[in-house]
Amino acid sequence: MTHRTLIAFALPLGLVVFIGFICGIMLASPRAPAALVFHNGSIRTMSEAGTVEALYIRDGRIMAVGALDTVLAAAPRGVRRIDLEGGTLTPGLIEPHTHPLAAALLDTAIDISGRTHGDRAAIMAAIAEGVEAGGPSPWAIAFGWDAVMLDGLTPPSLAELDALSPDRPLVILTQMMHEAFANSAALEAAGITPATPDPHDGFFERGEGGALTGRVVEVTAVRQLMAGIPQASDAALTYLLDGTYDAYAAAGYTTIGIASLVGRAEDPLGILTAVSHAERPALNTVLYTAPSRNSRALDMFSEADDRHALRRLNGIKLWLDGSPFAGGAASAEPYANTPLTQDTLGLPPNWLAPLAMPSDSVTGFVGEMQGFGYQMALHVQGERAIDLALDAIETAQTHTPNPDVQHRLEHLALITPDQISRANALGVSLGFFPDHIGNYGHRLEDLFGPERAARYMPIAEAVRQGAVVTIHGDHPASDIDALRVMALPVHRRTLTGEPLGEPIDAETALALMTINAARQLGLADEIGSIEVGKRADLTWFDTDPVAAIDADAPVAVRGTWLAGQPVDTRDWSLDRIGLAIAAAWGQVFG
């Protein structure tokens, strides 16, 4: 090889190497030095009212907080400073009840949400367009059907669904995921026939002569339908879930509580572990699993390294009733007899929803888990379901006292003041889903009548009684939007703009998403407030979220830190590119 040829070969190669080196630097996730001081903004510690000036962290822990002079005196000379640019730092926000795997999967579905489509015609057109466009799955999944949010959204008939997609399986999933509509191809692929037995807490609707209508009601029945979907590769699901973790972080969250791994996957625990146990995940992860997965989850989470992110298996999730918006809330009094309940939802007159589990089964299981030291997260919407949960917890506490186990109730649409008082006395925390007000407040009278609509989701009453109260987004039942979750109980505005029920102030709402959520997850000694010795899990806003939300003014998340390190939520980084390559390989070569 001549000298000139060598140069001609080496120069382009060197240029490629140099470009690769620069790209590697640009795409690598940023790392901060061990010691940092945050200043030039306000800091809401949530350990006391008001704000302070500065914060010093070292090795992922909070070392000093208070006046700038005091904090600088505690920090080493020349410490790197992070300019908050007039913004506000808070403890990292906590989402205590969510379903990230389902959110990841449904992010690829045809969007038919009532927030993005105004009427039935627009939704049916979107489904037709999505079916025609195809996608990575042999099934077409449309997500967000919401007959309670939108007037006139009558259920699709089996004939309509078959016309939309004659050969390809098609499923329309409702926003709350407690109801679905399937075409004939989907029913056949899932092995559901007129002779298929209904699950104990749901059903496959049948019409004249026992023929299936395509309507599938409640979680167990929907899960049986969705089991027919061919599974994506674990690598593809890992890529999707990792992106959803980034979406939570971009919304301001640093910790999520997974209220059961809902979502179609061959190995959901393995996929979760691949993301949550990565070297630098975007979030702390607290898991509540189904009883059948508990032993394996315990093995996976018991060896976790907590230096960068917390990983905990807290307990078990059970559903004691269903969705209020599919006729599933086990209320004390019947649903109202209105066109919405009878014509749209198809409920019989004076409908009382059944409990999802027999009382003795719930009591026995809660007692057993109490003995093992596991926290129960119990889905309860109606008063009868709430009474069942409280009865089971009281029995368990009487027979197997364990003050370290504090159970939790989820959603609580129709909880009464007396039930709040009883729960508080039992040390039970209360998690509310305020998007019921934001999305469905304008239809609550049609569902439950004026008296129950007026007291629906009484967050302020629970706060007033001194209970450990939290608020959550229950994704993908709502968008991943922490600021919306925070603002909803402050203004309690319905979709039509009218206020409904008693509000709370924004500082209280922030507490429900930080220190209270940490208490509910059993992590208040580590996260939830900015105090010396705790982890440096932080959320940075462009302005004070408390003042902005109280004033109904704009506010945005600028970033998060986990254990003192900035979280990289870019669509493309070295880690994301690696996962994308693995996902593509897994889909093509299995």
pLDDT tens-digit series, residues 233-257: 888 899 899 999 999 999 999 999 9
Q: Which of 32-46, 222-236, 273-287, 502-516 has the lowest mean pLDDT?
A: 222-236
- Verify that 196 and 334 share a domain, yes or no: no
Opening angle at CA 204, ends 383 and 326, nearest 5: 35
Predicted confidence at residue 21, as pLDDT, reads 47
Quickly state the pLDDT bin for 574 (edges 50, 70, 90).
low
- Is a pLDDT exceeding 60 seen at residue 503? yes
Mean pLDDT of 381-404: 96
pLDDT given for residue 247 in this prediction? 96
Does residue 266 fall inside a structural domain?
Answer: no
User: What is the pLDDT, as a whole number, of residue 130?
Assistant: 94
For the ranges 246-255, 301-310, 506-515, the lowest mean pLDDT is seen at 301-310
Mean pLDDT of 1-20: 51
In a domain, residue 484? The reply is yes
Indicate whether 71 belongs to any domain: no
Q: 387 with 500, same domain?
A: yes
Give yes or no: residues 219 and 364 share one domain: no
Q: How does the average pLDDT of the chain come out, rounded? A: 91
The answer on pLDDT for 406 being more than 60 is yes
Domain count within the chain: 2
Q: Looking at residue 586, what is its pLDDT?
A: 57
The verdict on 213 and 335 lying in the same domain is: no
Instruction: Classify residue 387: in a domain, yes or no.
Output: yes
Between 441 and 19, whose confidence is greater?
Answer: 441
Q: Which residues touch 252 (CB under 8 Å, ≥6 apart)?
A: 92, 93, 482, 483, 539, 541, 557, 560
Residue 214 lies in a domain: yes
**What is the Rg, in whole angstroms, of the alpha carbon atoms belonging to the chain?**
25
Give the pLDDT confidence score for residue 584 in this predicted structure: 62
Residue 427 has pLDDT above 50, yes or no: yes
In a shared domain, residues 329 and 466: yes
Residue 23 has pLDDT above 50, yes or no: no
Mean per-residue pLDDT for 419-430? 98
Q: Judge contact between 415 and 452, C-beta under 8 A.
A: no
Per-residue model confidence (pLDDT) at position 12: 56
Give the pLDDT confidence score for residue 30 in this predicted structure.
75
- Mean predicted confidence (pLDDT) in 487-512: 97
Confidence band for 3, pLDDT divided at 50, 70 and 90: low
pLDDT confidence of 401, banded at 50, 70, 90?
very high
Residue 29 is classified by DSSP as: P
Residue 11 has pLDDT above 60, yes or no: no
Phi, then psi, of 287 in degrees rounded to 5 = -115, 135
Mapping DSSP to helix (H, G, I), strand (E, B) and coil, where does residue 357 land?
Answer: coil
* pLDDT at residue 25, as a whole number: 47
User: What distance in Å separates the CA atoms of residue 533 and residue 46, rounded to the nearest whole number?
Assistant: 15
Report cis status (omega within 30 of 0) of the bond before 12. no
Average pLDDT over residues 442-464: 97
Highest-confidence segment of 113-117, 128-132, 259-263, 584-588: 128-132
Domain CATH number, residue 192:
3.10.310.70
294 is a domain residue: no
Residue 178: inside a domain, yes or no? yes
Q: Give pLDDT tens digits for 332-359.
A: 999 999 999 999 898 999 999 999 999 9
189 and 332 in a common domain: no
What's the distance, CA 104 to chain centroid?
11
The reply to whether 371 and 496 lie within a common domain is: yes
In a domain, 119, yes or no: no
Instruction: Summarize the confidence of residues 106-125 as an average pLDDT.
Output: 91
Query: Closest Cα to residue 282, out of 313, 309, 314?
Result: 309
Residue 71: predicted pLDDT: 97
For residue 503, give the CATH number of its domain: 3.20.20.140
Q: Report in angstroms the alpha-carbon separations of 377 from 76, 386, 390, 513.
A: 44, 12, 12, 17
| Owning domain of residue 466 | 320-521
pLDDT of residue 293: 76
Q: How confident is the model at residue 152 (pLDDT cuts 50, 70, 90)?
A: confident
pLDDT by residue (tens digit) across 59-84? 999 999 999 999 999 999 999 999 99
| Continuous H helices in 251-382 | 268-276, 294-302, 339, 359-372
For the segment 461-487, the average pLDDT, to the nearest whole number, is 97
Percent of the chain residues topping a pLDDT of 90: 76
Domain boundary among 474, 498, 521: 521
pTM summary value? 0.90
pLDDT value at 165 more than 50: yes
Same domain, residue pair 355 and 488: yes
The predicted-structure confidence for 195-240, as pLDDT tens digits, reads as follows 999 998 789 999 989 999 999 998 889 989 998 988 888 888 998 9
Check whether residue 354 and residue 217 sit in a common domain: no
Mean pLDDT value of segment 296-312:
83
Percentage above 70 pLDDT, the chain: 92
Mean pLDDT, residues 140-163: 92
Residue 494: predicted pLDDT? 96
Last residue of some domain: 467, 487, 521? 521
Same domain? For 194 and 336 the reply is no
Residue spans of beta strands (DSSP E) within 271-367: 284-289, 311-319
Q: What local confidence, expressed as pLDDT, does residue 28 receive?
A: 61
C-beta separation of 309 from 337 below 8 A? no
- At residue 6 the predicted structure's pLDDT band, cuts being 50, 70 and 90, is very low
For residues 186 and 334, state if they share a domain: no
Per-residue pLDDT tens digits for 272-286: 999 999 889 999 999
pLDDT category, 178, cuts 50, 70, 90? confident
Among the three residues 194, 226, 258, which one is the final residue of a domain in this structure? 226
The residue written with tokens 């959320």 in the block is 539
